Amino acid sequence: MLTDTRAPSTSMNDFDRCVAFLMNEALILDRQDYSAWLSLWRGDGLYIVPATRDAAADPFNSLNYIYDDEDMRHRRVRRLQSGTALVTTPSTHTVRSLSRFVQLNSDDSLYHLSSSLLLLASRRSVQRMMAADVEHVFDLAGPAPLMVRKTVTLINADEAQTDISFIL
């Protein structure tokens, strides 16, 4: 359920903070500064890319392309940075554009922000476009927002992919 963003919002500061966070995260990922990305998470956070659009409703009990807890995120990043993974020779360059930021209602104390992601990936003279609905869930209790969950639902999640070797 969406908040009517035309109404005056008492949490506009939170909204601005979270949008700024997303923009910063996008910059970090396009620069492949994966160590910095790891520090944006709360320890129990989950990075999820569902394997079907329906799976986004219950990724815990569904098969996903990615279901990374903190341990798996670190392993994924160490592998990407190792220089020994075939998919990183050459690595994929990305530029992403974020938009359509909308706060989602929730019954927890966390901040839920929906956005759209358009991403251009370039590797070995082939460019491809990916598009996704993204939901970030933030813990705003500390001095900086921390990601508790990031779910990236590709619009073609149900279809055959090529590779998703970088971080969405």
Partner 1 sequence: MTVTEKVLHDRFHTSLYTDAKIFEAEIARIFENGWVWVAHDSELPGNGSFKTTVIGRQPVIVTRNQAGEVNVMLNRCRHRAAAVCELETGKAARFMCPYHGWTYGLDGRLLAVPYDEGYGDNLKKEDFPLYPVRAESYAGLWFASLNPDVEPLIDFLGEAAPWIDLFMKQSVDWPLEVIGSHKFEFDGNWKVPFENTTDGYHLPVVHNSYLRFMESETADRLGQVMRDESIYCRALGNGHSVGVFDTSAVDLSAAHSGETPSHYKELEAELLQTMPPDVVARVLRGVGGVGFNLNLFPNIALSGAFFRELRPIAVDKTEVRHVALGMKGGPASANRARMRIHEQFQGPAGLGSSDDREAWERVARGAKSGRDAWVMLNRGLNREHLIDGRLVSHATDETGMRELYVRWKKVMTDAY
Name the residues that contact partner 1, by CB under 8 A: 49, 51-52, 55, 60-67, 72, 75-76, 78-79, 82, 84-87, 158-165
Lookup: tokens for 28: 């970090």
**Which CB atom, from 76 or from 149, has the smaller least distance to partner 1?**
76
* Minimum distance from residue 45 beta carbon to partner 1 (Å): 16
**Which CB atom, from 72 or from 141, has the smaller least distance to partner 1?**
72
* Minimum distance from residue 34 beta carbon to partner 1 (Å): 13
**Which CB atom, from 134 or from 146, has the smaller least distance to partner 1?**
134
* Minimum distance from residue 75 beta carbon to partner 1 (Å): 5
**Which CB atom, from 17 or from 74, has the smaller least distance to partner 1?**
74
CA angle 8, 13, 17 (to 5 degrees): 135
* Minimum distance from residue 167 beta carbon to partner 1 (Å): 10
**Which CB atom, from 90 or from 143, has the smaller least distance to partner 1?**
90
Could you tell me the strand order of the sheet in which 126-139 lies? 64-68, 41-50, 146-154, 126-139, 111-123, 93-104
Closest Cα partner for 105 from 11, 3, 30, 29? Answer: 3
Separation of alpha carbons 92 and 98, rounded Å: 19
Q: Which letter does DSSP use for residue 88 in this model?
A: G
Q: Which letter does DSSP use for residue 54 in this model?
A: G
Separation of alpha carbons 84 and 14, rounded Å: 40
* Minimum distance from residue 90 beta carbon to partner 1 (Å): 10
